[in-house]
Amino acid sequence: MRTLPIILGLALVASALAAPPGRAAPAGAYSVAVTQICAGSLLFDHSHAEGTRADALAIAADIRASTARRLERVTALPVPVGLEDLTSRWIDSQRRLASLFATNWVRIYDAIDAARTQAQRAALPERLEKLVHAPDALKLAAGRLELRLHVPDCTGGG
């Protein structure tokens, strides 16, 4: 029966959200509530035209805004006692990742757009590989925090 896990998850979310002010929710309820917000996140929420630098900038802005909206909902949740520092570090990692994804989206556009000569085009794959993998160390660090908190990536780029 597929509805039972959904009902149990919703009950945990409700109990997390119903924690009295000044009193944190249990870690499991917090994890479920964050998962409800972040699971299945997309890097950006809206469709965009592609092909111009203005389009790349609009996508970058959407990447930042999409993550910010989800994290605003996450930060409204009561944080379990003892997990405040870990949660703060995870949220910070998500913001930094979103910013890096957004910045690199524009950098990738710029690198492709600037490759005009044969030599520039030949160097492009190496340049793009560096840009695509630039977030790897931060993604790894965020992933360790996600495992400790039992929460998913909230950027959509994980």
Instruction: Please give the residue range of the domain that contains residue 108.
Output: 3-149
Q: Which of 26-40, 46-60, 65-79, 92-106 has the lowest mean pLDDT?
A: 46-60
81 located within any domain? yes
Residue 155 within any structural domain of the chain = no
Q: How many structural domains are present in the chain?
A: 1
pLDDT value for 135: 96
**For residues 44-63, average pLDDT:** 87
Least confident of 40-49, 108-117, 122-131, 134-143: 40-49
Answer whether residue 129 is part of any domain: yes
Determine, yes or no, domain membership for 154: no
Q: Which residues contact 80 (CB under 8 A, 6 or more apart)?
A: 24, 25, 26, 27, 30, 87
pTM above 0.85, yes or no: no
d(CA 68, CA 73): 9
97 near 154, Cβ under 8 Å?
no
Average pLDDT of the residues in 52-67: 95
Q: Is 77 left (phi over 0), alpha (psi -120 to 50) or beta?
A: beta
On the question of pLDDT at 4 being above 50, the answer is no
Average pLDDT over residues 129-145: 96
Residue 64 covered by a domain: yes
Tell me what percent of the residues of the chain surpass a pLDDT of 70.
84
Question: Which residue, among 41, 44, 34, 40, has the nearest Cα to 101 in the 3D structure?
Answer: 44
What is the number of H-type helices and E-type strands within the chain? 6, 0
For the chain, the average pLDDT equals 86
Assess if residue 108 is contained within a domain.
yes
> Which of 6-15, 52-61, 62-71 has the lowest average pLDDT?
6-15
Asked if residue 43 belongs to a domain, the reply is yes
